A and B are shown apart, each in its own frame.
Chain A
Amino acid sequence: MVEMTKRVRIEILVDAPLSAKLVRLAEDAGITGHTLIRTVSGRGSGGEWQEDLVSGATAKLIFLSVANPERANAFLQAILPLLESHGLLVLQSEVFVVRPERF
């Protein structure tokens, strides 16, 4: 049986232009790894959005990261001011990882 360790998975739907700021805040919180995933389109309280490959202004990315609870909490505290102003969608869930020292 492989030993698994509990960690926190963070997913954030973010406007593409804001993603650099999110990455910086994650690094400030000690989160060293992340992945940005492109999205195609969607619909939310603000209406429809989609990646038009021209302006990129309404494009959204998914910021995905796994961290230990302390770092995850520090990161989520740091992005609190952006939740309302930039309409971020933040999801947090428990995951199990094989090599916990990496997160």
Chain B
Amino acid sequence: MASSGISPELLRALIAGLALSALIPFLVAPVLRRVGRLDRINAGAVAAHYGSVSVVTFVTASQIYNESAFVVAGFMVAVLAVMETPAILSGLLVARNANGTTLIERELLREVLVNGSVVLLVGSFFIGVAIGPDGFDPIEPVFTSGFTGILCLFLLDMGLVAVRRILQTRTLSRRLVVLAVLFPLGNGTIGVAVGTLIGLDPASSAAFGVLAASASYIAVPAAMRLSLPQADAGLYLAMSLGVTFPFNLVLGIPLFRWMSETLGSMSW
């Protein structure tokens, strides 16, 4: 973006990302209620996780795609940032009738709008724009050749956390495990299709699919603990971190690439 500026493609991706993040909770919540047999509060909390995004899943996908010359546009980081929070408000709307408390408090707004991950994402994006390629050169070794190793270590630690989440939860039923696999498949397919339709290149469309398929386990859980404390944290973390996260890493990332390349090769 440092060289291309704010392009129509970026604006389309930002709007589509915002819309998708806000809409996905309304798509998955009824399924969670009927098939997953969750009450409204838990359905709203889980739905918010699936509308929001996983930074680590996106970073891993970008790394894998980029290493095989399937290069994701740099502005997708901005799309990632805007997809973090709309789902939180949608999830709260889903749960509102049952909750009966104030929808948005000062602490929640702070958590939603300026939580650490959003500040870092938006901040690093603008730093990248400001410093440009010349400014990136001195720190390039950490973020290119060294980054894969750092990511591997982080993912190993995440694996431990994910397994603990599954072992500790008492409410993760088989139905919910199936949903935690079906949601990324469905949402990711929608994401790839939308990315292709708005004119993103195949790699960015695949990354858009990864974003739609991923589920948050950093920003949204904190917001849910604040605003929906009755919701079962063990449940939504087990689904997003214990099932959906590894599914996306192992199967989702290559699958959405295949989908994007297939869609991209079709003539419209």
Chain A residues near B (Cβ < 8 Å): 15-18, 20-21, 24, 47-50, 52-58, 85-87
Q: Find out whether the CB atom of A17 lies under 8 angstroms from the CB atom of B101.
A: no
Closest A residue, CB atoms, query B217: A55
Interface pick from B29-37, B59-67, B226-234: B226-234
Residues of chain A within 8 A of B237, CB atoms compared: 55, 57-58
B225 touches which one: A18, A47, A48 (CB < 8 A)? A18
* Contact indicator B229/A57 (Cβ below 8 Å): no
A57 touches B168 (CB 8 A): no
Q: 25 A-B pairs, CB-CB below 8 angstroms?
A: A15-B225, A16-B222, A16-B225, A17-B111, A17-B223, A17-B225, A17-B226, A20-B107, A21-B107, A24-B106, A47-B234, A50-B164, A54-B157, A55-B161, A55-B221, A55-B222, A55-B237, A56-B221, A57-B225, A58-B221, A58-B225, A58-B233, A85-B101, A85-B229, A87-B229
Whether A85 pairs with B230 at a CB distance below 8 angstroms is yes
> CA A55 – CA B101 in complex, angstroms?
24
With a cutoff of 8 Å between Cβ atoms, the chain A residues found around residue B101 in the complex are 85
User: Is B175 in contact with chain A by the CB < 8 A criterion?
Assistant: no
Q: Is the CB of B223 within 8 A of A21?
A: no
Other 11 A-B pairs with CB < 8 A, given A15-B226, A57-B221: A17-B225, A24-B107, A50-B164, A55-B161, A55-B241, A56-B221, A57-B222, A57-B225, A57-B237, A58-B225, A86-B229
Q: Which of A49, A50, A54 contacts B218 (CB 8 A)?
A: A54
Q: How far is the CA of A49 from the CA of B168 in the complex (A)?
A: 9
In the assembled complex, which residues on chain B have CB atoms less than 8 Å from the CB atom of A49? Answer: 233
Q: Report if A54-B107 is in contact (Cβ < 8 Å); known contacts: A17-B226, A47-B168, A87-B229.
A: no
In the complex, which residues 102-158 of chain B have their Cβ closer than 8 Å to any Cβ of chain A?
105-107, 110-111, 157-158
Q: How far is the CA of A20 from the CA of B114 in the complex (A)?
A: 14
Which of A20, A47, A50, A54 has the most CB atoms of chain B within a 10 A radius of its CB? Answer: A54
User: Within the assembled complex, what's the spacing in Å between the Cα atoms of A62 and B265?
Assistant: 57
- Contact residues in A for B224 (Cβ distance below 8 Å): 57
**A16 contacts across to B, CB distance below 8 A:** 222, 225
In angstroms, Cα B57 to Cα A3, docked, is 60
A15 to B223, CA, bound (A): 11
User: In the complex the two chains form, what is the Cα distance from A49 to B101 in whole Å?
Assistant: 25
CA distance A58 to B170 in the complex (A): 15
Smallest CB–CB gap between A102 and chain B, Å?
27
Residue in contact with B110 in the complex, picked from A18, A20, A57, A87, CB distance below 8 Å? A20
Q: Which chain A positions have C-beta within 8 A of B164?
A: 50, 52
Bound together, the chains give a CA A90 to CA B154 distance in angstroms of 36
Across the interface, which residues of B come within 8 angstroms of A57, CB to CB?
Answer: 217, 221-222, 224-225, 233, 237
Q: In the complex, A57 Cα to B221 Cα: how many Å?
A: 5
CB B25 to nearest CB in A, in angstroms, measures 17
Closest chain A CB from B263 CB (angstroms): 33
A22 to B, closest residue via Cβ: B107
Residues in chain B near residue A50, CB distance under 8 A: 164
